[in-house]
Amino acid sequence: MHKPLKKTFRTLSVLLLAMSLLATACGDDGQDASPDTPTTTTAASTDNSTVDNETVDPVSDLEGDLLISGSSTVFPIVQRQAEEFSAANPGVAIAVEGPGSGDGAVKFCNGEVPIANASRLYKDSEMETCAANGIEFIEIRRGIDGITVVTSSANGAIECLSFNQLYALISEDATGFESWADANALLAEIGSTAESLPDASLDIFGPGEESGTFDSFAEIVMEAVAKGKTGLDPESREFSTGIRPDYTSSPDDNIIIEGISDADYSLGWVGFAFGSAAADAGSVKMIPVAKEDGGECVLPTPETIASAEFPIARYLYTYVSVSAAASDPAVAAFVDYMMSDQGLEAVAGVGYVPLADADQQLAQAIWADRVTGRTWG
């Protein structure tokens, strides 16, 4: 256990074009609220006449109460969209929470919430639960994130980390390591040519197993090492594909950032919007990442994430209940807004990367045509 910190149309032939570079600016990230605590947005909490200096025509006859759950990474996007939507629709109260992709999937597939967010695709087991409970869903791709590896701003000893080094520090094989230098013997054992790590205390902070960011980090980094995609020979030993259990976890990215900031030789991972905002504030430092030992060290930026040059990029998703969208006008209207050109401005507005044009048009068509089931991945 981790230590708690205080804290249907036919099958689509999807030609995912190379992600076009979309310059974005990380503005106000809207992250003062804790994503694991539901934040209700009503007309009382926003300006009813303007949102981001644009006049919004009110739709006074629309009423409803919505709870949206799931990913803490996607939370800032949907929270901003909820604020904008409620400003135009004062009769709709939207509560957004971010306990994690896994926890959100449980609520969604049990029919407890009409909309859930995820920083990864739903697992087969989650889809089976939805099916068993009669929950038909629409799967919508929302944007692109780069899982950001961070350390304390006081840590001047680490300037770049390869996938193999991350494996030697964070995989299940690293269980019990209390110093960065403890990973050096493991690096030698697995045949890595990465530079030795410093003799300094190792304090690791990250999301827990309920988080899609936890799953994505393990899938992208640990599995790449285990499958020999980082230059290692996967036949030489049995590589782990999991993450060590003995680190400090939290479902709240802001709490993770706080822990990393307070420990000089810390190490952790969060969504890009959270990591970049904290780095801009000077509380943490983003660590460039190289997929292979001696490879190019790439810092996550909107440009490197959009181009997939940054090696820990991943997509973000929202799941919508078909029955809820059909029976509740407020649900359908809110998703209409989320997928509108105006609503989609929130993706870049909170610090994430918009989809390439072809992907975005497909995502909007999936919602407009109510295409059900797995449509991505």
pLDDT over 70 percentage in the chain: 84
Give the Cα separation of 115 and 331 in Å (integer). Answer: 8
| 259-317 pLDDT tens trace | 999 999 999 999 999 999 999 999 999 999 999 999 999 999 999 999 999 999 999 99
Tokens of 108: 């969604």
* Residue 99 to residue 350: CA distance in whole angstroms: 19
When the candidates are 3.40.50.960, 2.60.120.560, 3.40.190.10, 3.30.1490.190, the CATH number that belongs to 8-144+316-368 is 3.40.190.10
Phi, psi of 54 (to 5 degrees): -110, 135
Q: How confident is the model at residue 17 (pLDDT cuts 50, 70, 90)?
A: very low
For 191-246, the pLDDT digits (tens) are: 999 999 999 999 999 999 999 999 999 999 999 999 999 999 999 999 999 999 99
371: helix, strand or coil: coil
The pLDDT-based confidence of 61 (bands split at 50, 70, 90) is: confident
Work out the pLDDT band at 377, boundaries 50, 70, 90.
Answer: confident
Q: How confident is the model at residue 57 (pLDDT cuts 50, 70, 90)?
A: low
Letter string b/e over residues 172-207, b meaning 16 or more CB atoms within 10 A of that residue's CB: bbbeebeebebbbebbeebebebeebeeeebbbbbb
Are 316 and 77 within 8 A, CB to CB? yes
If we measure between CA atoms, which residue out of 49, 159, 38, 40 comes closest to residue 107?
A: 38
User: Does 26 have pLDDT greater than 50?
Assistant: no
| Coil vs helix vs strand at 138 | strand
Could you tell me the two tokens for 182? 């403890």
pLDDT at 118 over 50: yes
Tokens of 291: 């997929």
CA gap 130, 142 in Å, rounded: 21
Grouping H, G, I as helix, E, B as strand and the rest as coil, residue 251 is coil
Q: Which helix (H) or strand (E) holds 52?
A: none
Q: Regarding the domain delimited by 148-313, which CATH topology (the fold level of the hierarchy) does it fall under?
A: D-Maltodextrin-Binding Protein; domain 2 (3.40.190)
At residue 41, the pLDDT reads 59
The CATH 3.40.190.10 domain(s) of the chain lie at 8-144+316-368, 148-313
Burial 219-257 (b: 16+ CB within 10 A, else e): ebbbebbbeeebbbeeeeeebbbebbeebbbbbbbbbbb
| 18: region left, alpha or beta (phi > 0 left; psi from -120 to 50 alpha) | beta
CA distance 297 to 373: 38
Quote the mean pLDDT of the chain.
Answer: 88
Q: What is the DSSP string of 306-353?
A: HTT-STTEEEEEEEEEHHHHHH-HHHHHHHHHHTSHHHHHHHHHTT-B
